[in-house]
Amino acid sequence: MTSLEDRRQLSDAVETACQSGARLHPACKVVGISPRTLQRWRAPQGVHEDARPLAQRPTPGNSLSEQERQQVMALINEPRFADVPPARIVPMLADEGVYLASESTMCRLLREHGQNSHRGRAKAPSAQRMPTTHVATAPRQVWCWDMTYLPATVVGRWFHLYLIMDLYSRKIVGWEVHASDDSEHAKRLLKRTALAEGIAQLDRKPVLHGDNGATLKATTVLAMLHWLGVKPSYSRPRVSDDNAFVESLFKTAKYRPQFPAKGFADLAAARQWASEFVHWYNLEHRHSGIQYVTPAQRHSGQDVDILRARDRLYQDAQQQQPQRWARRTRNWDHVAVVTLNPERDQPVTVATRPQNSSVKFA
């Protein structure tokens, strides 16, 4: 908004130019305003200050009542939602058959109450460029794996978490924690995961994507992959984000409040924490990348019915209070295709065709 002093100076400049013989439109164009703006500034009693900040605006008819606002804030501040953002609160309530307000309304209420900071210990996410690799349209097509370090209470000592995640469902299909980094651990984890997921009966064996670490590329690991029929895939040299899904999973694990900031006392404690985390992640965590269903629900195919039930709930809520919905209801569409670092749309289009379902893009 233009201040009163600037309005007066621009008005005087245009007036002086017009008195000197200039036309109104060119004079206004030079100072960067339109003749209609100048007319509005001067009416009705000379140049006046902008009155928009002082305008009395009526309360929108679709806004929440004060009682409803208090009810929403009380729910958001419940202990179970202490570190959960509105993006996850909404689908959790939808699964319970409860609808109070939209995600944007919850965010607005949090902002009004000074509670709109990023919940949890992690920093706010930022967009990153995504290079190319594989496409998954069902479970057991693409796996991602990696190893991360878990700190011990003794400085300089680490435990090693090996983990395999299904790209399509985000489910952790295999994990182990060891006191050392050894290719034998990775080999044994591969065999256990393949047996648990029953890949021997699959016509199309999964692709296993990992980084270029020595452990994951050891000869014994490659021999196990060959024996299982699993084709290995590796990140490009000097590229740190080719395995972004697993890296994101590790960040979720280490920034949870339950992660011990001072490290694990022993190997048993590290394994106990890993077991509890995997249980929470697979069975309770509403994942934002798969429409806020749990990885276990998506892995078993239950997510389709859950998303349909959420959509019906929102449709009913819209019918009951149509004045609160300016557009269509929230999008609960099923995510049919998951791409690992796509570089172009063409691989996704080809991979979703039934006759090309076994094609892999690297």
- Tell me which amino acid residue 72 is: V
Sorting pLDDT into bands at 50, 70 and 90, what band is 217?
confident
**Mean pLDDT value across residues 136-148:** 93
In a domain, 60, yes or no: no
Give me the torsion for CA of 28, 32, 35, 40, rounded to 10°: -130
Looking at the predicted structure, is the pLDDT value of residue 123 above 80?
no
287 in the same domain as 145: yes
Write the pLDDT tens digit of every residue in 322-341.
988 888 899 999 999 998 87
144 in the same domain as 221: yes
Take residue 316 and report the two structure tokens written for it: 């009913």
**Domain total of the chain:** 3
* Residue 9: how many other CB atoms lie within 10 Å: 14
What pTM was estimated for this model as a whole?
A: 0.73
* Residue 358: how many other CB atoms lie within 10 Å: 10
Cα atoms found within 13 Å of the Cα of residue 66, Cβ hemisphere only: 0
Q: What is the rounded CA–CA span in Å between residue 319 and residue 331?
A: 16
CATH of the domain at 265: 3.30.420.10
In a domain, 120, yes or no: no
231 in the same domain as 278: yes
Q: What is the rounded CA–CA span in Å between residue 165 and residue 320?
A: 41
In a domain, 142, yes or no: yes
User: Which DSSP helix (H) or strand (E) runs through 136?
Assistant: strand 135-136
Last residue of a domain, one of 244, 266, 296: 296
92 in the same domain as 234: no
Least confident of 50-59, 154-163, 341-350: 341-350
Output the CA–CA distances (angstroms, integers) from residue 270 to 36, 164, 206, 302, in the order listed: 71, 17, 29, 31
151 in the same domain as 42: no
Report phi then psi at 310, rounded to 5.
Answer: -65, -40
In a domain, 220, yes or no: yes
**Cβ neighbours for 111, distance < 8 A, ≥ 6 positions apart:** none
Write the pLDDT tens digit of every residue in 172-209.
999 999 999 999 999 999 999 999 999 989 988 999 99
155 in the same domain as 285: yes
Question: Which range marks the domain in which residue 142 is found?
Answer: 135-296
**Cβ neighbours for 189, distance < 8 A, ≥ 6 positions apart:** 162, 164, 174, 175, 176
Q: What is the rounded CA–CA span in Å between residue 240 and residue 234?
A: 11
